[in-house]
Structure 1
Amino acid sequence: MKALIQRVKRASVEVEGEIVGSIDHGLLALVGVEKHDDAAAVEKLLHKLLHYRVFSDADGKMNQNLQQVNGGLLLVSQFTLAADTRKGLRPSFSSAAPPAQGGSAV
């Protein structure tokens, strides 16, 4: 399981013109679920996302986590993070979880 995170002032996900998820300040995480990922991998990633110290404290140092700043967490399934690009010019997505598994883990 891989995640690409970004601090945001606000973020939303829109599907067919309808907003299906949104947050104000917090973290947007694009999550790539792979076939071998299990509940333990999900728990480990969630723990990290909630505890990464990527927000500024009163002194301007990145020393606070998502919970300390009362931020939101928006998870977006993104199978392309599971791409294997070691060979050739066409990435392989064979390690990516099928859509039903990847979407339900996020």
Structure 2
Amino acid sequence: MSNPLVHAFFVGRAAAEIVSEKLENALTDALSELGKFDAEAREQLRQFTEQVTERAEREMEVSTVGRSTTEIVPQSSQPADLQATIDDMRAEIALLRAELQRYRSNSL
């Protein structure tokens, strides 16, 4: 290239294209990170609400287990499977033991 003006034009054009590409890549990366952050925040919020719900249900079960559960149930609505009833009672006993242990350890 013999003309310095033409050479300066092409150098300026190349510089503008490169700057444009770099800006485009930076913007794309920033939007990608923002999308990833949003997805992670939503997932953490979902997990948090799930944990809160589980804990609330567990606490509700614990508080209802402490109440008297001896109620008369008609024979027709009683479960037919005796083993399932025994398993449920064992689970309630284990839950009560765990709560009693937690109460004892907190009161010391």
Sort the TM-score into its range (normalised by shorter chain).
under 0.3
Structure with the largest fraction of helix: 2
Structure with the largest fraction of strand: 1
Q: Normalising by structure 2, what TM-score?
A: 0.23
Between Structure 1 and Structure 2, whose CA radius of gyration is higher? 2
Q: Normalising by structure 1, what TM-score?
A: 0.23
